[in-house]
Amino acid sequence: MILKTITFNICHGQGLDGKVDVKRQARQLRKYQPDIVFLQEVDMYTKRSNYSNEIRLFAKEIGLPYSSMESNITLEDGFYGDGIVSRFPIAFSVNYIMPLAMKDNEQRGILRNKISFGTTKLNLFSVHLSTHENERIMSAKELMKIINKINDDSAIIVAGDFNVGVIRLGKGKYQYKEKDTFEEYEILKEKLKKIDNKELTWFSDYGNACIDTMFYSANIKLAKYKTIKTEYSDHSAVYAEFDI
């Protein structure tokens, strides 16, 4: 079957116009009829997001019945983390807390869901790596330890905002440095394939870059992919179809 997937850093629902509205984000993506959506920077019950449950609002608006969200930090008396929205029941969900280089750095996690349809077992990972390169590399290594324990007959998709090349200068300030290769990607490529998207997916006053992508296991086939441009976040979404 063809599995339609999207990864999207929703920036807690905030568009380039400053308006926070996850429903309009979901409405834009709904026409692609995705089966799985990987989300990053999801708020739950925070003041800046009108105390809403963003993962539930997004799932309802895009028309997918199942969702999971895990918090990596508390924020404004609410929670902030990553999510996955699915057409298929989620059999298992866990959030892996990633290592920090310094205790005051923002805590990151990697959300894993397991779903199945027919005889296919699929492991999904929603990823939002650190703005510190050393932590991104550590997280990539931790993720590979997890993936190496998965049975070879199970399919894997890892998708999200990898922040490769991003350098944190201070609170809310970043710089982007292009490289021929990124160690974070090379670690994952030891076992997974990467879609070859190159269009810019992140837009800011401090840098514009292609930092959102997907990896997938060798036992599934990439059919096609595209970048979905939007003004409803500071990131574009990435769409991919897999023959599973």
Contact, 165 vs 179, CB < 8 A?
Answer: yes
Domain extent at residue 145:
2-243
Give the per-residue pLDDT at 84. Answer: 98
Give the per-residue pLDDT at 43. Answer: 98
How far, in Å, CA of 108 to CA of 211, rounded? 16
Give the per-residue pLDDT at 173. Answer: 79
Q: Work out how many domains the chain is built from and give that number.
A: 1
Domain with 23 in it: what CATH number? 3.60.10.10
Give the per-residue pLDDT at 124. Answer: 98
Q: Indicate yes or no: pTM above 0.75.
A: yes
Give the per-residue pLDDT at 171. Answer: 74
Two tokens, residue 210:
């292609």
Q: Mean pLDDT of successive 10-residue segments in the chain (244 residues)?
A: 98 97 98 98 97 98 98 94 98 97 95 93 98 97 98 96 91 85 98 98 91 98 98 98 96
